[in-house]
Structure 1
């Protein structure tokens, strides 16, 4: 039996990225502003691990997410993963 080739491309396809972007819509405008900027800057270059980190951040309540985005708090516990920390640092980049 022949196995299908394993894809080394870690970039999700555009349809998946559109669904992820829709999934990231939040109730607080402030969070949406950070998330929109993130997708504008990095959306085309997201890798599967970064998407996973983003989705983990999206599991937070709006207020907890905003505290992280504004650096009022730092990730801890289950959120203290390299992909979550990387996405958070990409989202926190100073506004241009």
Structure 2
């Protein structure tokens, strides 16, 4: 798959999760980080998108421990939540 096509597919999957909260969190993470991802990081995100939104969100906000396969720098970046744009 061409890298641009892969990014478009990941963008759509990240922004169309089923709930507004998941769209904002997972889509916001994609928007903030995807441009710099290596192929390995894209594969990590692709695998993450196969997980349930409630699990991803629990891992991100720290109410559940992510599985070892998702541990590392990318999960740490997801957990920072500094990529979310919230109106104040």
- Please state which band the TM-score falls in when normalised by the shorter chain: 0.7 to 0.9
Using the size of structure 2 for normalisation, the TM-score is: 0.73
Whose Rg is larger?
Answer: 1
Give the equivalent residue in structure 2 for 1:92: 79
Measured on the aligned residues, the alpha-carbon RMSD in Å equals: 1.9
Q: Does 1:39 align with 2:26?
A: no
Question: Number of residues paired by the alignment?
Answer: 80
Structure 1 gap ranges (5+): 1-11
Asked if structure 2 preserves the Cα contact closer than 8 Å seen for 1:57 and 1:65, the reply is: yes
Tell me: CA distance 1:62–1:94, structure 2 relative to 1, closer, same or farther (3 Å).
closer
Structure 2 gap ranges (5+): 84-88
**Which stretches of structure 1, 4 residues or more, deviate above 6 A after TM superposition?**
none
Give the equivalent residue in structure 2 for 1:53: 44
